[in-house]
């Protein structure tokens, strides 16, 4: 693709000029955006790029191992894994407001980063995989509506932050990032990985984030991911995931009444996340997800399907 190869070439050149001989830190999430930024910057400045993977305790099952193993095996990148799970989860105690969760996670993320960056010498830049839709949704002054959500990875750097931002994907939409990834030779399971939000499972647990609720959501989500891959729907869909609702409902098991959690399935089609529609998945696949979640995840006795489009709903529930 001509336009993508010139994007890659120009971006590498631009980054080299902008960064000079400084060191750069990058938050690696394992998603396609930060992977593309990592490979682009690695091409531009080599080992002066320092990737930091923060385990914030809000990741999906086995995510940490998958990201670190992959990068270790396939790229010659500087990658450090920081275990900050307890720090994030302690801060989230008692917090149930969606915007508070997002801000808290965003600031904590930046704090962890700044600390890591200070341990390195001559770090002047923080690289991020910000995309165009993140930029416009966060710039409230540009639209008639107020800020939709404070994306944890856009703006709002604290005063004491002494790093400048490098955001090479700032003008791209997701489908363009996938083209760049292909151009860079990234493997399909990265290129076609569904988006996962920076604040992680915290914004898919409505209400307070606790260890117990995280465990329930992780297990339910794993079943959804498994069924999407097994049926080939993973690639056909923008995103498919589970959400844990902040309520319990009555059910029956054998002769006993149960009173347990509800999982919502959010399965959407989209081109660029600006608009989305719920995926018309075959009923037998939905039935299988529901049966498996209720039978296999302790503490869940009901599964519901989200059939709202964006707008007016959003893809995530918080």
Residue 216 Cα distances to 32, 74, 79, 305, angstroms: 26, 32, 30, 17
> Min. distance of Cβ 75 from ligand XMP in angstroms?
21
199 near ligand XMP (CB under 6 A): yes
Segment contacting ligand XMP by CB under 6 A, of 14-22, 39-47, 193-201, 204-212: 193-201
Quick one: tokens of 214?
A: 């995280």
Sort strands 78-83 and 49-55 into parallel, antiparallel or unpaired: parallel
Task: Kindly state the DSSP code that residue 194 receives in the 8-state scheme.
Answer: P
Decide if residue 200 touches ligand XMP (CB under 6 A).
Answer: no
CB of 133 to ligand XMP, least distance (A): 7
Burial class (CB in 10 A: 0-12, 13-18, 19+), 145: exposed
User: Which string of x and - marks every residue 272-311 that binds ligand XMP (by CB under 6 A)?
Assistant: -x------------------------------------x-
Of 156, 141, 159, whose CA–CA distance to 198 is shortest?
Answer: 156
Q: What is the nearest approach in angstroms of ligand XMP to the Cβ of residue 199?
A: 5
- DSSP at 207: S
Query: How many Å apart are CA 248 and CA 243, to the nearest integer?
Result: 13
* Residues contacting 2, CB < 8 A, separation 6+: none
User: Which range in 43-51, 54-62, 183-191, 194-202 contacts ligand XMP by CB under 6 A?
Assistant: 194-202
Residue 11 or 153: the one with the smaller Cβ distance to ligand XMP is 153
Instruction: Draw the binding track, 123-152, toward ligand XMP (x: CB under 6 A; -: no contact).
Output: --------------------------x-xx
Tokens of 99: 């915007």
Strand-strand pairing, 300-305 and 277-278: unpaired
22/61 with CB nearer ligand XMP: 61
User: Which of 23, 78, 153, 279 touches ligand XMP (CB under 6 A)?
Assistant: 153
Q: Contact at 8 Å (CB) between 183 and 176?
A: no
Helix (H, G, I), strand (E, B) or coil at 262: strand
Binding to ligand XMP by residue 78, rule CB under 6 A? no
Per the CB < 8 A criterion, the answer to whether 109 and 198 are in contact is yes
**Which of 27, 98, 168, 195 touches ligand XMP (CB under 6 A)?**
195
Determine, following the binding rule CB under 6 A, whether residue 168 of this chain makes contact with ligand XMP. no
Give yes or no for residue 30 binding ligand XMP (CB under 6 A): no
Number of residues that bind ligand XMP (CB under 6 A): 14
Q: Return residues touching ligand XMP (CB under 6 A).
A: 149, 151-153, 195, 197-199, 239, 273, 310, 314-316
């Amino acid at each position: 693709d001509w336009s993508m190869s010139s994007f890659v070439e120009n971006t590498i050149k631009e980054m080299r000029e902008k960064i000079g001989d400084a060191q750069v830190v990058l938050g690696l999430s394992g998603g396609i955006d930060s992977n593309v930024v990592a490979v682009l910057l690695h091409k531009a400045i080599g080992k002066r790029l320092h990737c930091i993977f923060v385990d914030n305790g809000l990741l999906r099952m086995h995510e940490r191992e998958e990201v670190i193993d992959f990068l270790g095996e396939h790229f010659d990148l500087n990658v450090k894994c920081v275990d900050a799970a307890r720090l994030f989860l302690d801060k989230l105690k008692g917090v149930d407001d969606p915007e508070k969760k997002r801000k808290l996670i965003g600031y904590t993320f930046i704090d962890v980063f700044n600390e890591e960056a200070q341990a390195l010498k001559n770090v002047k830049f923080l690289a991020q995989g910000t995309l165009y839709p993140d930029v416009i949704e966060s710039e409230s002054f540009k639209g008639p509506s107020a800020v939709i959500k404070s994306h944890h990875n856009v703006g709002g750097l604290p005063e004491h932050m002494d790093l400048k931002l490098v955001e090479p994907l700032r003008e791209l939409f997701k489908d363009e990032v996938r083209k760049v990834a292909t151009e860079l030779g990234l493997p399909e399971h990265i290129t076609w990985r569904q988006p996962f939000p920076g604040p992680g499972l915290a914004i898919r647990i409505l209400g307070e984030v606790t260890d117990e609720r995280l465990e329930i959501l992780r297990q339910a989500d794993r079943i959804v991911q498994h069924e999407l891959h097994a049926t080939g729907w993973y690639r056909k869909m923008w995103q498919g995931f589970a959400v844990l609702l902040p309520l319990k409902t009555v059910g029956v098991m054998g002769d006993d009444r149960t009173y347990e959690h509800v999982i919502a399935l959010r399965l959407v089609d989209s081109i660029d996340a600006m608009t989305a529609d719920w995926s018309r998945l075959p009923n037998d696949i939905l039935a299988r997800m529901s049966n498996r979640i209720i039978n296999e995840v302790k503490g869940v006795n009901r599964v519901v399907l989200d059939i709202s489009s964006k707008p007016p709903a959003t893809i995530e529930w918080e």
